[in-house]
Amino acid sequence: MFKSLEQISALMTDLPAPDQKAAEQARMRQSQLVKPDGSLGRLEEIAIHLATWQGREKPALDKTRIIVFAGAHGVTKHGVSAYPAEVNAQMLAGFHAGFAAICQLAKAFDADLSAVDCGIEQPTSDFSEQPAMAEAEFLTAFQTGFDAVRGDEDLLIFGEMGIGNTTSAAALYAAMTNSTGDIWVGRGTGVNEDGLKRKADLIDKAIALHGTASLSPLEILRHLGGREIAALTGGLLAARRNGVPVLLDGYIVTAAAMVLHRAGGQTMLENTIAAHCSDEQAHFEALNEIGLHPLLFLDMRLGEASGAAAALGLVKAAVACHNGMATFAEAAVSGPSDPA
């Protein structure tokens, strides 16, 4: 059980390294398949990435899990969302009932789906007035995410749901980059221009109130984040410590990834692939900040892990080609020759 932020920070060291032998075996296989080397583009990169972190030449997707964390935000009292807070409980019930978008995507791509309540009946405090979470609350939420990871998954996808969490994510980005709210706020669930201004003003107020420039990334998360974002961060850390590859979802999940990136460095995210760039303003810039390039640009902004789940089709295609194609020798096809 986590007792302090320092204990979490200690887990960001001595991380498992990527399996370079498996990576080389996968690269060699790609070079021998019946195609010009590199002709499948990022599908080849995906297959090699999975092979590297699964520690085998031919990666598998038998144990693919999607975990969606749900939370509630006190800052919503300021009208930062187009939807009321009661949608949190209604959508969480929808995940369990199977009618949400992520349920259909998980079914389409044969992924196990779990929805975790991180306290939708207990909104965080309004971060424009006080820290969003006391340390004990933060540690509990972080532990929830950390414990949700089994460690034997072939691939993990994390998602979130929480009215107001795009405001919280934008606040995290602004604080971690020492910038202002207007750079990072977007329309989220569909707020108008007045809503955008309210979001930006609240973020600037909170940054000044908490003096975030002097806070560690984990403290910034405690002051400005939500329970579901803390759980996401815990889940991402658990995946990294277990060497499980992660397909990174959208704007809010990327904020959790940036916390780890700022706290532990680039190696914290070595096991991740950015699935998509959402339609949320500044998500592409956030991905640039942590050195990731997305697979898809589909103008999505739903959350729920829906963008990453959509990209799961690409991942399955990459694995199918990598594992199922014949080599030049197996197919008795002439391979490439050196130019004269």
> Quick one: residue 299, left, alpha or beta (phi over 0 = left, psi -120 to 50 = alpha)?
left
The alpha helices in the chain, defined as continuous H runs, are: 5-10, 20-32, 42-54, 87-97, 101-108, 135-148, 165-176, 181-184, 193-210, 217-224, 227-241, 251-264, 283-289, 306-324, 328-331
Amino acid 340 reads A
d(CA 111, CA 66): 7
Residue 137 a catalytic site member: no
- For CA atoms 81, 129, 159, 22, the dihedral sign is positive
CA 112 from centroid of its chain's CA atoms? 17
Look at residues 11, 122, 5, 21 and name the one whose alpha carbon lies nearest to residue 72: 122
Question: By the 8 A CB rule, do 282 and 183 touch?
Answer: yes
Q: How far apart are CA 260 and CA 67, in angstroms?
A: 18
Residues constituting the chain: 340
Catalytic residue among 86, 160, 304, 330: 304
CB atoms within 10 A of CB 69: 33
Q: What are the catalytic residues?
A: 304
